[in-house]
Amino acid sequence: MHSLRPLNLLTFLMTLAIIYAGCTPAGSGKKSVQSPPPVENFGDYWYQGTAELTRYELRQARYGEIHSGDAVLIFVTEDFLQDKQVKYEHGSREQAVSVLKLNATRKFYTGIYPYSIMTSVFTPVSAMNHSLKVSFSAQEWCGQAFMQLNFQGDDSYRGVLHSYFQDEADQAFAVNNALLEDELWTRIRLNPEALPTGEIDLFPGAHYIRMRHQPLQPQKAVASLSSSEDPALSEKPLQVYRIEYRSIERVLEIKFEAEFPFAIVAWEETYPSGFGDSRVLKTSAVRTHTLNAPYWSLNSVADSLYRKQLGL
């Protein structure tokens, strides 16, 4: 695994400049309306004006086979409006809270045509018991699908779904608040000691729901957190967060470093591999490269070298 950071002066100056302009996360400064998790150097890592980009070698189960591809996890802090549930950019800061945002992407080919999947999660840095928003989109040559959940003040999520499949089409719905599988990734990075264990109710990941064409509803699951070591993944001690669903055929294991900043080094998902396909296969992803950079400013042709540094 390659750990790379921008080293030239130009990149450093760009980092300082974009803190106050453009697509810069509004939470990248040290001023936050919330208290960070109980990690002494949390702010030194997460409020330095850059994002953490990590590429994983993806082996995605689909249609009864394993397909090679790339997964990228992009973690960054930003200020987020609780009322409008969008990034804070201007105006009153009264409704702004600091969130850890995850943009998780997967790209792979099934035969001739590509899949592009992205899930975005917005989890408050403070000890709130819910994430504020999750959005998901998938594009492939058959069409597109989009789903979004927005947390409501009445302890529920308001949801929308748009799909090219006839039985799904356009929907608006509401679901009671429960833990989201998609927010486990941000919760690991914020404070893994607070991860729930034992019997839990959990909404499966949005990508699983949409690729299996299942209704969104909480499922019974058993969660465990254990210690591990694997020199092939990291020289540091590891922890493994395991989710085993009881009512659906799905197991998720996320492996991460036990020391702050709790970097995610690999994950595995076991479930039936496709819509209407009962064959159970394992999707896996293993970290290969990581880079801390202000990616929103690295948009010139010359900046394509960073893609090579990420193994893309």
Q: Which of the four pLDDT bands, split at 50, 70 and 90, describes residue 240?
A: very high
What pLDDT, on a 0 to 100 scale, did the predictor assign at position 275?
Answer: 67
Q: Is the pLDDT of residue 9 over 80?
A: no
What is the predicted pLDDT for the residue at 30?
Answer: 36
Residue 153 has pLDDT above 80, yes or no: no
pLDDT, average across residues 120-140: 90
The DSSP bridge pattern shows strands 51-62 and 277-293 to be antiparallel
Which has more confidence, 127 or 191? 191
Q: How confident is the model at residue 278 (pLDDT cuts 50, 70, 90)?
A: confident
Q: In sequence order, what are the residues at sequence separation of 6 or more whose Cβ sits closer than 8 angstroms to the Cβ of residue 141?
A: 113, 114
Average pLDDT over every residue of 215-232: 94
Whether pLDDT at 21 is above 60: no
What pLDDT, on the 0 to 100 scale, is given for residue 28? 40
What's the mean pLDDT in 214-234? 93
Q: Above 80 in pLDDT, residue 25?
A: no
Q: Which two structure tokens, joined as six digits, stand for 155?
A: 């302890």
Confidence of residue 22 (pLDDT cuts 50, 70, 90): very low
- What is the total count of domains within the chain? 1
- pLDDT higher than threshold 60 for residue 17: no
Average pLDDT over residues 182-203: 95
pLDDT of residue 18: 39
226 has pLDDT over 90: yes
Which pLDDT belongs to residue 36?
A: 53
- The pLDDT score that the predictor gives to residue 210 is 84
> Residue 276 has what pLDDT?
63
At residue 167, the pLDDT reads: 83
Query: Which residue is associated with the tokens 């997964």?
Result: 71
Out of 24-33, 192-201, 258-267, which region has the weakest mean confidence (pLDDT)? 24-33
Alpha-helical (H) ranges within 35-80 are 42-46
User: Mean pLDDT in the chain?
Assistant: 86
Q: Which of 33-47, 159-173, 257-271, 288-302 has the lowest mean pLDDT?
A: 33-47
pLDDT at 213: 78
Residue-range definition of the domain harbouring residue 123: 2-309
Give the pLDDT mean for 62-83.
94
**What are the DSSP E strand ranges found in the chain?**
2-4, 51-62, 65-81, 96-110, 113-124, 133-140, 143-152, 156-163, 170-176, 179-180, 198-203, 219-228, 238-245, 251-257, 264-274, 277-293
Q: What is the pLDDT at residue 224? A: 97
